[in-house]
Amino acid sequence: MVKYNLDGKVVIITGASAGLGEQFAHAYADSGAHVVLGARREDLLKKIADEVSDKFGVKALPIKTDVAEESDIVNLVDTTVKELGTVDVMVNNAGMYIVKPLIEQTLDDWNRVMNVNLTSAFIGSREAAKVMIPKKSGSIINITSTFGFGGTEFTEVSYYVSKGGMVTMTKALAIELGKYNIRVNAIAPGFFPTEMSKGVYEDEKLRNRVIDPRTALPMYAENEWIRGAACFLASDDARYITGHTLAVDGGWLAY
């Protein structure tokens, strides 16, 4: 991966205990940034923090965070400022889904997904903006999904809606915060073999019906391939890009 110059930047990543969040932690640390890792699984956070700190010589701060709780997100940002002085990049990555047919989905199911996927990104963006506005700089990156642009045969309507909401929120915040030189963008991953999606890869029928027909490139994704997009959007190379959703999907949205 091409390294971007993020030396000394402070990056907060939610959902950082596994999957793409772990990839973001390694990518930003490799580019010289200090990373703050938020998630519920404290043991995994500490393991990743130790790995990136030892390997790249940056500060890595693990903070146990339940993004369904507003107070936890507020604490995540406040502790970052207290320990590291500022927030330069906020990566709203935490996510979940519940697979159920519509008529079996409960209001509690709906609210759980919305709180983790969309409301947490709103709160994270709000708290980060409080730090970024006075210094008139910053980058907020929302991790949405190709599913934010339309449905599939997977019965997870709340997930689609939450990710579509992130795309629209990205645009709205880009307009509102642009005058403060704060850029707001999103990344829409396709299918990556993370902890969340490994069941799809292991199911040959689903691979043949869902992934293969809409993957233009002749290979499946590897988790490391998300790193470049994340670092690019955080870097000065993307200084005139805002309100954009960058698909990293092997051609999924081209169909």
Dist. CA 237–CA 202, nearest whole Å: 37
The residue among 44, 40, 145 whose CA lies nearest residue 97 is: 145
SS3 state of residue 142: strand
The answer to whether 113 and 158 are in contact (CB under 8 A) is yes
Return the half-sphere exposure (C-beta side, CA atoms, 13 A cut-off) of residue 79: 17
Return the half-sphere exposure (C-beta side, CA atoms, 13 A cut-off) of residue 66: 4
The residue among 234, 28, 5, 63 whose CA lies nearest residue 132 is: 234
> Residues 159, 160, 201, 255: which is the catalytic one?
159
The answer to whether 200 and 191 are in contact (CB under 8 A) is yes
Active site includes 159?
Answer: yes
Dist. CA 11–CA 74, nearest whole Å: 15
Structure tokens at 166: 């992130």
The answer to whether 253 and 146 are in contact (CB under 8 A) is yes
The amino acid at 40 = R
In 10 A of CB 1, how many CB atoms?
12
Tokens 């700190």 found at: 53
Task: Write out the catalytic residue numbers.
Answer: 159
